[in-house]
Amino acid sequence: MNFHLAETFTSALARLPAQDAKLVKTSVVDLQIDPTGKGQSFHRIERAKDPNFWSVRVSRDLRLIVHKTASSLLIAYVDHHDKAYAWAQRRRIEAHPATGAIQIVEIRERVEEAALPASPELPLPETTASAPRLFAKLSETDLLSIGVPIDWLADVSTATEDTFLDIAAHLPGEAAEALLQYVDSGRLAKPTPVTTSDPYAHPDAQRRIRIVTDEEELRLALDFPWERWGVFLHPSQRAIVERSFDGPARVSGSAGTGKTVVALHRAVRLARSDPARRILLATFSEPLARELANKVNVLAPETGTIVPRITVSDWASVADELFQLSTGRRPRVVGAETLAELIADAAAEVEVRGFSDRFLLSEWSNVVDAWGIDGQDAYAQVPRLGRRSPLGPKQRERLWSIFGRVASSLAAQGLFTRASVYRQVAADYRMRTDKPFGAIIIDEAQDLGPAELAFLSAITPDHANALFFAGDLGQRIFQHPFSWKALGIDVRGRSATLKVCYRTSRQIRGMADGLLPNALRDPDGNQEEREGTISLFDGPVPIVTVCDDAEAEISAVSKFLVDAVADGIAPGEIGIFVRDPSSLGRARKAAQAAGVETGATVALMHLAKGLEFRAVAVVACDEEALPLQSRIEDAADEGELDDIYETERQLLYVACTRARDRLQVTGISPGSEFLKDL
């Protein structure tokens, strides 16, 4: 008898408390050892329309829902008694008549019965005569070909923009995804017909139902239950994951559209396709790298062959390790305060006046050090992209007398800047044929600087599929914009933009998008269109509150948090973010007042990158906090001031889009000027 686990079960298992989950896992292992269920308490679910649904007693109130036939046992769901039975009574499991794939199908009439006013589920909206039908051009044969169940054909045929998301939530995943792609592109991508006598062997089924062959594999599946990112690839994502590129390639998209998902799947695919290839999956920070590593372990459970060949790291750590391999020592990187002192001292020694300390530090960081300028002639020629303070030949000559001295001082002390570490490693590997990695995939690529990009390019071999970037220009919060083409990285013709948002509700995404223009263009002319992005689900309207004082704000935020917990959101699923460390106290007081201080994440907005929460409160968005007044005062020229405003706006966008279901943004009157755009 074949033994299967459904994604609906592992998702339900992940929601249970740890002690309950432990009991469930024991029961499932017992069933895998003996699928006949001897010694288990099986009960047929009488009101279920599918006669193969049974419940298995786990504890006094917990029940497993299994689908049992003569040839297979499918673990389909788990919950407390009444909820588990209700789940089974509203579903059937069958092979689709057109595709042949096994599906877990919600019974249309049972969904209607459950959608009474007293039910927590909303009734399916009715189509209005005036609203255009999204799928009017598709025939029933078209809809069947992508896996739409027969009893849902009429609903899909009459769906409008207002009703489609509600209907899609009840459809099998392959059907909903194909319809989303049709809305996005205007084309129906019909799957290639699959001939198989086993409906569980169909590719659509295998994305959501896993066959388990032995106890070791089962324990791994239970310990690392599937997460949506690891199981579901929208067709537009899959096309990018599987595509072969003849040069550097990039995927972009708004927050929550699955760029990291694509990066993860592509890393695993490349590792599986070539058993001799080592893969680097890199991002900008160590915490994010740890998160990616955990997801790789879930996505590629074959730890003996795949995972050891995928290095997951922040790019600074990779550079430090390669530096040490080349030199036998770790680089001594100069601190920010020491660097500022060296620049100020050099300016005083050569008696160059007329430039502020802020300007000198900015010019060194964003021009001289970023681009590896090593002499007066090179500095005289370098284009100062984004710098609006014009510098003539005489001014550059005077400035180089400062910067040349700083470079000499660093060299004399054996100190490196972070950028110079990247440059030295790049210089070492640029002419070598023995590269440390066969392919490099970079997540959060919008925050690469010139030195980082040149370094990653230098340690990558010159062949197809070697260099792949995932990022969003709208989430750039660390780096000044610069030309990738100037460093030999041209992604024109090899770029794609994702348009389906999985993480954030339509209401939150729509509000956050008000912070950014409809299209963003990089210095090389590549444009990222943000219009046309679709969220997969609805949620409450976000709350923007400008309070009279800090006490009123703390009260408003604590109420938001209390309401979230009352509606079933765990403290660990809550994030509270502020722009400036001085505001952390207000956030912590709100968390304490709501009783979530030991579970919720309270952090700076910069640390929100790559995280997601069911509920997010963005606190202390005050007039001088966003944009941060000290950054404005430190602007070296108008160009840098514009970039500060842009990155501060994008920082708020990042914080807001960490929320999946609920979002509150607060500040003290008059509040940040950015709040108007929300």
Residue in 469, 470, 465 with CA at minimum distance from that of residue 487: 469
β-strands 53-57, 62-68 pairing: antiparallel
Q: Domain of 112: which CATH number?
A: 3.30.2310.20
Question: HSE (CB half, 13 Å, CA atoms) of 225?
Answer: 19
- Do 47 and 177 reside in the same domain of the chain? yes
Q: Flag whether 397 is in a domain.
A: yes
- Identify the pLDDT of residue 387: 54
- pLDDT digits 0-9 by tens, 66-95: 999 988 899 999 999 999 999 999 999 999
- Identify the pLDDT of residue 435: 93
251-274 mean pLDDT:
88
- Do 105 and 199 reside in the same domain of the chain? yes
Q: Is the pLDDT of residue 223 over 70?
A: no
Asked whether the whole model's pTM tops 0.75, one would answer no
- Do 486 and 615 reside in the same domain of the chain? no
- Identify the pLDDT of residue 517: 84
Question: If DSSP states are collapsed to H, E and C, what string results for 314-333?
Answer: EHHHHHHHHHHHHHCCCCCE
User: 455 vs 430, 442, 448, 600, CA distance in Å?
Assistant: 9, 12, 10, 37
Per the model's pLDDT, the better-predicted residue between 187 and 118 turns out to be 187
- Identify the pLDDT of residue 522: 81
Q: Flag whether 504 is in a domain.
A: no
The last residue of a domain, from among 386, 415, 444: 415
- pLDDT digits 0-9 by tens, 261-272: 899 989 988 988
Confidence grade of residue 279 (pLDDT, cut at 50, 70, 90): very high
- DSSP SS3 for 433: coil
- Identify the pLDDT of residue 227: 47
Rounded to whole angstroms, how far apart are CA atoms 474 and 589?
31
- pLDDT digits 0-9 by tens, 637-655: 676 787 788 889 999 999 9
- Do 405 and 481 reside in the same domain of the chain? no
Percent of the chain's residues with pLDDT above 90: 43
Alpha-carbon dihedral angle through residues 165, 618, 12, 47, given to the nearest 10 degrees: -50
Percent of the chain's residues with pLDDT above 70: 90
Rounded to whole angstroms, how far apart are CA atoms 444 and 518?
20
Confidence grade of residue 220 (pLDDT, cut at 50, 70, 90): low
The letter for the amino acid at 347 is A
- Do 47 and 129 reside in the same domain of the chain? yes
Per the model's pLDDT, the better-predicted residue between 475 and 459 turns out to be 459
> Which range marks the domain in which residue 473 is found?
248-297+310-327+428-499
Q: Which segments of 328-465 does DSSP mark as H helices, in order?
A: 336-349, 357-363, 376-381, 393-412, 418-430, 450-458
Per the model's pLDDT, the better-predicted residue between 78 and 217 turns out to be 78
Which of the residue ranges 69-78, 287-296, 367-376, 522-531 would you say has the lowest mean pLDDT? Answer: 522-531
Contacts of 581 (CB under 8 A, 6+ apart): 604
- Identify the pLDDT of residue 304: 62
Residue in 154, 153, 161 with CA at minimum distance from that of residue 131: 161
- Identify the pLDDT of residue 392: 73
Residue 248, both tokens: 């550097």
- Do 274 and 352 reside in the same domain of the chain? no
DSSP code per residue over 2-41: EEEEEHHHHHHHHTS-HHHHHHHHHHHHHHHH-TT-TTS-
Residue in 319, 320, 260, 251 with CA at minimum distance from that of residue 291: 260
- Do 482 and 571 reside in the same domain of the chain? no
- DSSP SS3 for 411: helix
- pLDDT digits 0-9 by tens, 192-206: 777 777 888 888 887
Q: What are phi and psi of 249, to 5 degrees?
A: -130, 160
- Identify the pLDDT of residue 302: 57
- pLDDT digits 0-9 by tens, 432-472: 889 999 999 999 998 899 999 999 999 999 888 899 999 88
With contact defined as beta carbons under 8 Å apart, do 630 and 482 qualify?
no
Beta carbons within 10 angstroms of residue 358's beta carbon: 15
Q: Flag whether 461 is in a domain.
A: yes
Q: Is the pLDDT of residue 122 over 50?
A: no
Q: Domain of 576: which CATH number?
A: 3.40.50.300
Rounded to whole angstroms, how far apart are CA atoms 265 and 296?
8
- Identify the pLDDT of residue 455: 95
Q: Flag whether 191 is in a domain.
A: yes
The letter for the amino acid at 185 is S
Q: Flag whether 514 is in a domain.
A: no
Q: Flag whether 422 is in a domain.
A: no
Question: HSE (CB half, 13 Å, CA atoms) of 621?
Answer: 28
Beta carbons within 10 angstroms of residue 9's beta carbon: 27
Average pLDDT, the chain: 85
Q: Flag whether 584 is in a domain.
A: yes
- Identify the pLDDT of residue 117: 33
- Identify the pLDDT of residue 226: 43
Q: Is the pLDDT of residue 405 over 80?
A: yes
- Identify the pLDDT of residue 229: 39
Rounded to whole angstroms, how far apart are CA atoms 235 and 174?
9
- Identify the pLDDT of residue 7: 86
Tokens 């002419």 identify what position?
Answer: 431
- Do 62 and 148 reside in the same domain of the chain? yes
Confidence grade of residue 389 (pLDDT, cut at 50, 70, 90): low
Strand ranges (DSSP E) for 218-283?
249-253, 279-283
Confidence grade of residue 123 (pLDDT, cut at 50, 70, 90): very low
- Identify the pLDDT of residue 31: 87
Residue 213, both tokens: 């062959």
Q: What is the largest CA-CA distance in the chain?
A: 91
Q: Flag whether 524 is in a domain.
A: no
Residue 116, both tokens: 């009474």
- Do 55 and 112 reside in the same domain of the chain? yes
Q: Is the pLDDT of residue 127 over 50?
A: no
Number of domains the chain is built from: 4
Confidence grade of residue 125 (pLDDT, cut at 50, 70, 90): very low
- Do 322 and 385 reside in the same domain of the chain? no
The last residue of a domain, from among 154, 176, 206: 206
The last residue of a domain, from among 415, 437, 463: 415
- Identify the pLDDT of residue 592: 95
- pLDDT digits 0-9 by tens, 549-570: 999 999 999 999 999 999 889 9
- pLDDT digits 0-9 by tens, 511-553: 998 898 887 888 877 777 777 777 777 789 999 999 999 999 9
- Do 320 and 441 reside in the same domain of the chain? yes
- Do 408 and 274 reside in the same domain of the chain? no
337-354 mean pLDDT:
89
